[in-house]
């Protein structure tokens, strides 16, 4: 399961380059998307939320109201090896986080809060990938 989350993170992270400019996210703030899973990652920069919004739109994962498109998210996760073992759980966790933060009207801030909530839910459920795994795979992919 942590392997599935690793693959989804790296796949999702491929959109970061495309989204830097529109989200005003500097490389020093987030060099690579998988740093999202670091224990010291700070959820204090609105631009990170804007980047996740842009990256989600790139994969067509948002509805017109900038909430998760359940069906598309399910299919996106299933497009990774063994994604079907995690897709429904991830959709549920993200949806629960969306409900907790629904009153935030700014899309970038709300999505940042949802992402933070999602990260802590994943840790609670033992499906967060380890930094070691992510780094190792990232280095392999870029070689």
Residue 6 binding ligand M21, by CB under 6 A: no
Interaction residues for ligand M21, span 75-114 (CB under 6 A): 94, 98, 111, 114
Bridge partners (DSSP) of residue 32 are none
Within the chain, what is the greatest distance between any pair of CA atoms?
Answer: 44
Question: 69: which residues sit within 8 A by CB, 6+ positions away?
Answer: 60, 61, 62, 63
Residue 34 binding ligand M21, by CB under 6 A: no
Q: Smallest gap, in angstroms, from Cβ of residue 67 to ligand M21?
A: 5
Residue 25 binding ligand M21, by CB under 6 A: no
Residue 4 binding ligand M21, by CB under 6 A: no
Taking alpha carbons only, the member of 36, 69, 71, 73 closest to residue 51 is 36
C-alpha to C-alpha distance for 61 and 12, rounded to whole angstroms: 11
Q: Smallest gap, in angstroms, from Cβ of residue 130 to ligand M21?
A: 14
- CB nearer ligand M21, residue 9 or residue 23: 9
CA distances from residue 36 to 12, 13, 63, 74, 85 in whole angstroms, order as listed: 12, 10, 23, 21, 22
Q: Smallest gap, in angstroms, from Cβ of residue 107 to ligand M21?
A: 8
**Cβ(101)–Cβ(117) below 8 Å:** yes
Q: Smallest gap, in angstroms, from Cβ of residue 49 to ligand M21?
A: 9
Q: Smallest gap, in angstroms, from Cβ of residue 68 to ligand M21?
A: 4
How many chain residues touch ligand M21 (CB under 6 A)? 14
Q: Which residues contribute to the site for ligand M21 (CB under 6 A)?
A: 8-9, 12, 36, 52, 56, 67-68, 94, 98, 111, 114-115, 118
């Amino acid at each position: 399961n942590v392997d599935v989350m690793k693959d989804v993170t790296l796949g999702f992270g491929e959109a970061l380059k495309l989204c830097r400019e529109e989200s005003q996210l500097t490389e020093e703030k987030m060099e690579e998307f998988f740093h999202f899973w670091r224990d010291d990652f700070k959820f204090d920069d609105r631009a990170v939320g804007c980047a996740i919004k842009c990256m989600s739109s790139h994969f067509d994962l948002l509805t017109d109201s900038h909430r998760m498109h359940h069906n598309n998210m399910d299919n996106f996760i299933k497009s990774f090896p063994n994604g079907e073992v995690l897709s429904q759980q991830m959709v549920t966790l993200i949806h629960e986080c969306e409900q907790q933060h629904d009153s935030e009207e700014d899309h970038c801030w709300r999505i940042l809060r949802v992402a933070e909530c999602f990260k802590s839910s994943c840790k609670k459920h033992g499906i967060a990938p380890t930094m070691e795994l992510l780094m190792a795979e990232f280095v392999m992919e870029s070689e």
